[in-house]
Amino acid sequence: MQEYKNLLVETRDKVALVTLNRPKALNALCSELFDELNQVIAEMDNSKAIGAIVLTGSPKAFAAGADIKEMCNTNFVDNYKNNFLGHWTQITEARKPIIAAVNGFALGGGCELAMMCDIIYAGEKAVFGQPEVKLGTIPGAGGTQRLTRVVGKSKAMEMVLTGSWNLNAQDAERVGLVSKVFPADQVVDEAVKTGNKIASLSQPIIQMAKESVNQAYELSLSSGLQYERRLFQSTFATHDQKEGMTAFAEKRSPKFEDK
């Protein structure tokens, strides 16, 4: 497997485990790290051997935000011309499910990166926050948008406007930002377990299910329901739908063939 400067990549059965690895900067998201992340996610998304991706950081920090030192002297015109952060949301285009396993700080871009994933598991000491206003800027990759849709206006405003009001793991689970909280040393293993459970199912069906859930953030209810129904109907063109339902009727485990 290719070596990366800011990432560690390993496979665990059918799951790619991608670990942000810039410990001295608490995994601050510099451009090079993000380029590598986009590259590895695209590669895993296209790998037949991989059915799900787990993204994690260190015990102290999932990621403490975009790299402040790298961006502090950039200017508006260059950022605008180069569409700064434009490709940082590329991972949301992955077809395979991505599970964030968050320990420690998930601040600023770190919180936004976790929210770009499909499922978030958190360790008991995880902390989610959007401190950008304290740096004289605002969230730039979903902190005012994805966060608001999940936690609602009042909590999102409190987090974004004060910059110091953070959600701990338990509160993040209560409001639905995080789906489960685990002891810190178990969160990665639990995420990998869930990833392998997903990877054992039919990949085209999982892909359709992810695509349909994501439309809930883009479409009106009636359009979303229509989209869902069409994809549901499409599943009946697959081998795996026939196999899944036949196996149920025959009281045996299905053998999905990803077709």
Among all residues, which ones are annotated catalytic? Answer: 66, 109, 112, 132
Among residue numbers 139 through 168, which ones bind ligand CO8 (CB under 6 A)? 139-141
- 66 counts as binding ligand CO8 under rule CB under 6 A: yes
Q: Kindly state the tokens that stand for 151.
A: 């936690």
Using the contact rule CB under 6 A, the part of the chain among 4-12, 92-100, 101-109, 197-205 near ligand CO8 is 101-109
Give the nearest distance from C-beta 62 to ligand CO8 in angstroms: 11
What is the C-alpha to C-alpha distance for residues 98 and 213, in angstroms, rounded to an integer? 14
Contact of 61 with 28, CB cutoff 8 Å = no
Residue tagged 């950081």 (tokens): 57
113 binds ligand CO8 per the rule CB under 6 A: yes
- When asked if residue 102 is in the footprint of ligand CO8 (CB under 6 A), the reply is no
Determine if 26 is a binding residue for ligand CO8 (CB under 6 A).
yes
- Cβ proximity to ligand CO8, 86 vs 255, nearer residue: 86
In the complex with ligand CO8, which residue's Cβ is closer, 171 or 189?
A: 171
Which of 2, 3, 48, 69 lies at the binding interface for ligand CO8 (CB under 6 A)?
69
Which residues contact ligand CO8 by CB under 6 A? 25-26, 28-29, 64-69, 85, 88, 105, 107-109, 112-113, 131-132, 135, 139-141
